Amino acid sequence: MSGLRDYAAARRELPLALDPTASGYDEVVAEDGAPRDAWRRLLAGYEPDLVDLPRVNAEIERMLSDDGVVYAPPGQRQRRWRLDPVPLVIEAAEWADLEKGLAQRAELLNVIVSDLYTDRTILSRGLLPPEVVFAHRGFVRSLARPGQEDLAPVTLAAADLSRDETGEWLVTADRVQAPSGIGFAMENRRVLSRVLPRLHREAAVHRLTPFFQTLRSAILQAAPDGVESPHAVVLSPGPMSETVYDQASIAASMGFPLVEAADLTVSSGCLWLRSLDGLQRVDVVVRRVDAAWSDPLELRGDSRLGVPGLSEAVRRGNVRIVNSLGAGVAENPGLMPFLPSLCEELLGEPLRLSSARTYWGGAPGGRDVLIDRIDELRMTSLDGRGVPSSAEDLRHRIETEPWRWVGQESRRASSMPALEGDRLTPHTVRWRTFTMRHGASYRPMAGGLVTARSTVGEQQVSKDVWIVKQDPADPDQGLSELMSVTALRTPPTLPPRARGDMYWMGRYIVRIEDTLRLWLLCHTLALDFHHRPGSPGGAALAVLRTTLRGLVSIPDTASETDDLRAALSDADRPGSVSQSVEQLTLLAQSLRDQVSPDLFRVTGALARALGSSRERTSDTYRGEDAETMLTGALALNGVSENMVRDAAWRLHELGRSIERASQLTHLLEPTLGRRRGPEVDREVLDAVLQVSESAVTHRRRYRGYVRVANVVDLLVLDAGNPRSLRFCVERMQQHLTALPASSGSTRPERLVDDLLALLSDADLAYLVVIEGEYRPRLRELLLTVQSQLRSLSEAVENVHLASGPWQRPIELPLVIEP
């Protein structure tokens, strides 16, 4: 690899020990500056300089963008996921030890969680001070009831590892609440194996797919006893969550519907998915919502991310949660100092994989350690409340209630090269590992996800983890016999949340196309007539600019250049192309389990063109970006072409028809509703025909003779023109009628009937009658249709998309004594 030599040289000259976060151990370059064995073997027979890292990196970015891989740091806009081209490589011998340690750790945590929710012998026998558990927010009392027994509360565990200066991997955190990252790990591998095909093949690394398939079986096997073909769902906090990609990609590749709380309901003590065909029993929930937010009835009452009654359904054994609602108790840093003795007691063997050195304030002498090393230890409180910002406060709180505090030696991590700009710089390595329940034991993923942080710059980037096989013939993941994989159910059931998303996706796809067409026309006219405002073309430009401004809510005072820039690229402006693309991308994320992956290729291309248009200083070139976007927008039509013709598709098509009709009224009212003299009118009519993609039809039918009546006929009344209002309304009627919730007399159907009657009754000659400067009948018709469409959209939301009123907690009775 190009640059590795430079990295090694620089690494020798700049000892990393100077960086307080780095341990001094490098994953690629040994102390003597030569590549470590794993890398020496990997690069043997290879001309390293042939791999052009910046080029590989560009390819990675492109692929990730095409797949729509994003993550959203808390409180921030979604960002593109970043993957570095240089993987962390672990040799077979080292992995063999780690594998045993990770499996043992998951098994131990599982036994601990299981015990804490049944007999609590760990506490009654004095193996663990009770306050470590009782003070931890992950201990969910409502699930620790007599008679409750769950032998496998942990199906998937994650552990974060750092390597210290001696080369030993240490666990810095256990993640068992609702571990995230497997979807990212899978995607990282998919991309890296394609951009570095030869290196990947020759390295003989464990493929990840078998792990994923087995995990799918493990999730289904978590179903309550006696369920023959279990249904699983992935419960997500929603499209704004940090790891929405991870959640959606797991749902999509496992074939489980991605749902939000409102899609589920508890009834008769069982959990159900509200599907278009009625209630469907759910047996397993892959939970990505933290336990505290999962059941507003018994846990946090203010949560809208949870399903009331879920705990009751769990207690009755009618549904299983992966991981169990109580599993978060094992994320407790206060457990770490006790793991070695607990392992001896509970599993009868020594703990193989150590944790980073952690002190609990309640232990004998623990308080003094925390106070003495207050500046140097990383403090956390068991109850999850934040650490006070002032050292004084912290000291006071540790002194008064030491048992609430845990201090961990901040780990210095190993380093390795990652591409920063166009060269390799040292980055610290934190490796998230995943371990799943497999039959009655646990099996770690030979792979994982690395978060790498630059020690010289600001960069944070992910890395793939390559575990090299002992023998290239070894089975991937050591899973020689894949557990039976239940046939994928496709397409997964459409939850109510996704119904709304489908509908809005249709609307945004059309909105992007139609806004772009109008924009491009304005742009072209502006190039031609910008300096001739008095000409007929200049006047037409003014009319269309007003139309565009109306659509994108731009104030009249803005300049022409600002108008165009904002309508295209301003993400904060409602109706702008940029905002529609952003909304579409968000919808696509949460529909990942429902739509073709091609969609991400298109949204990725749209986002790239938008990004480029924002950087343009010249208006001329911005037009090229818009052309690129229009091509993308047209490709979006292909996405719906390939959809199965089910209710979801109908909702999508309904959204498209409503949006197209709405766009038409917004285009026609300001343009055709007014008379401006024959020359200007001709320019405006031409423009309207172009924007509505009907110029060719018009030419064929009317031999190029442009008259208002013809244009109105073609775009409003003509049932044969797919771009006419009448056509759109007829389509709405077709799709509405076919939806399961339609009865022939629902409000949306009535509204569409009215609309159709309005258009059938309209008389062309009457519509184009002129009074003064205006065509009042035409304007009235268009404005009526416009407001009817708004009512229709609301009615569709209520009848077909809504999942009932919101839940809220009821007032608690105050206790007042006599």
Partner 1 sequence: MTRYQVRHRTSYAYDAPVTGSYGLAWVMPRRTPGQEVTEAAVTVVPEPEDLGVSSDYYGNEVRYFHVTVPHTELVVDADSVVEVEAAEPPRAMLDRSWETCRPLGSAEPGAWLAADFALESPLVEHPDSAREYAAVSLSPGRSIGEAVAELVHRVHADFAYRPGVTSVTSTVDEVFAARAGVCQDFTHLLLSCLRSHGLAARYVSGYLATTPPPGRERLVGADASHAWAAVWLGDDDWLAVDPTNDTRVDDRYVTVAWGRDYGDVPPVKGTVFTTASSSELTVYVDVQAV
Question: Which residues of the shown chain bind partner 1 in the complex (CB under 8 A)?
Answer: 123-124, 126, 129-131, 134-135, 141-142, 144-147, 265-269, 296-298, 301, 308-309, 312, 315-316, 362, 383, 400-401, 403-404, 804-818
- Between 314 and 636, CB nearer to partner 1: 314
Q: How far is the CB of 267 from partner 1 (least distance, A)?
A: 7
- Between 130 and 340, CB nearer to partner 1: 130
Selection from 174, 171, 175, 102 nearest residue 446 by Cα: 102
- Between 393 and 528, CB nearer to partner 1: 393
Q: How far is the CB of 362 from partner 1 (least distance, A)?
A: 7
Radius of gyration, alpha carbons of the chain = 31
How far apart are alpha carbons 16 and 669 in whole angstroms? 68
Q: How far is the CB of 797 from partner 1 (least distance, A)?
A: 15
Q: How far is the CB of 271 from partner 1 (least distance, A)?
A: 12
Q: In sequence order, what are the residues at sequence separation of 6 or more whose Cβ sits closer than 8 angstroms to the Cβ of residue 605?
A: 66, 628, 632, 635
CB 676 within 8 A of CB 769: no
- Between 248 and 305, CB nearer to partner 1: 305
- Between 105 and 367, CB nearer to partner 1: 367
- Between 145 and 201, CB nearer to partner 1: 145
Q: In sequence order, what are the residues at sequence separation of 6 or more whose Cβ sits closer than 8 angstroms to the Cβ of residue 594?
A: 491, 492, 494, 498, 501, 502, 648
Q: How far is the CB of 381 from partner 1 (least distance, A)?
A: 10
Q: How far is the CB of 400 from partner 1 (least distance, A)?
A: 7
CB 276 within 8 A of CB 499: yes
Q: How far is the CB of 403 from partner 1 (least distance, A)?
A: 6
Selection from 128, 234, 410, 320 nearest residue 139 by Cα: 128
Q: How far is the CB of 380 from partner 1 (least distance, A)?
A: 16
- Order across the sheet with 258-259: list the strands: 258-259, 232-235, 284-287, 320-322
- Between 344 and 399, CB nearer to partner 1: 399
Count of positions (residues) in the chain = 818
- Between 268 and 389, CB nearer to partner 1: 268
| Sign, CA torsion 714/719/724/725 | positive
How far apart are alpha carbons 152 and 268 in whole angstroms? 25
- Between 121 and 553, CB nearer to partner 1: 121
Q: How is 258-290 classified by DSSP, letter by letter?
A: EE-GGGEEEETTEEEEEETTEEEE--EEEE-S-
- Between 102 and 122, CB nearer to partner 1: 122
Residue 388 burial by Cβ neighbours in a 10 Å radius (0-12, 13-18, 19+): middle
Strands 320-322 and 284-287: parallel
| Sign, CA torsion 579/584/585/589 | positive
CB 153 within 8 A of CB 11: no
- Between 487 and 814, CB nearer to partner 1: 814
Q: How far is the CB of 111 from partner 1 (least distance, A)?
A: 19
Coil vs helix vs strand at 452:
strand
Q: Give the tokens for residue 435.
A: 């371990």
Q: How far is the CB of 315 from partner 1 (least distance, A)?
A: 7
Half-sphere exposure of 164 (CA within 13 A, CB side): 13
Q: Give the tokens for residue 381.
A: 């409180």
Q: How far is the CB of 792 from partner 1 (least distance, A)?
A: 21
